[in-house]
Chain A
């Protein structure tokens, strides 16, 4: 069972455009919602994370929007660049120190 559902599976965006990736979760006990970025041949790396009592968090061109009532959160990448081309994973953390990951989104930013 997949407790965190991510969409779309792949995304193509023009340089300078906005990339939007969505996730939905089921377990209300999750206490943090991180996003990880993975380049080909590398392990994932933490990009940005949000707590469920915050509706939005911004770090540079990356913003997480969080809707607690709908149990949904999304990653927005503003002014997308070719260097942002990677696979993005949303995740949810529980108090048992475990992360549950979404299925991943492969982003391609065309120059």
Chain B
């Protein structure tokens, strides 16, 4: 995952505050994804992007929004954080030709108190 970075790596925030997580890639991959990982649930897709300014919802998109203004950056925003959004968030990228092959970043651990 050397070509994919996430920031911040850890964050503690209070309920009701907005939070933005950033994913940056140097792979020039067309597809970018945001997942959340919770025990027993595996990884669940929040939103994904198939190009600059082209995004779509995933399985658990409520309470989240995304933006992609450049190929290399994909932002995930929690408009008003809730305790149920405490999770580990992973960004992933894909070239598109073999979409089952995704490359994951190191993750961001978010705690909402």
Contacts and interface: CB of A to CB of B under 8 A. Distances in A.
A101 B106 contact: no
Contacts of A41: 106-107
Interface residues of B, number: 27
A32 to B, nearest CB: 4
A4 B41 CA distance: 10
Contacts of B45: 98-100
B105 to A, nearest CB: 5
A43 interface: yes
Given A43-B90, A97-B94, A98-B48, A89 B102 contact: no
Interface of A: 2, 4, 6, 9, 32-34, 41-46, 49, 89, 91, 93, 97-104
5 contacts: A34-B101, A42-B1, A45-B1, A91-B100, A104-B40
Given A43-B1, A91-B100, 6 more contacts: A43-B90, A43-B92, A43-B106, A44-B43, A46-B100, A104-B42
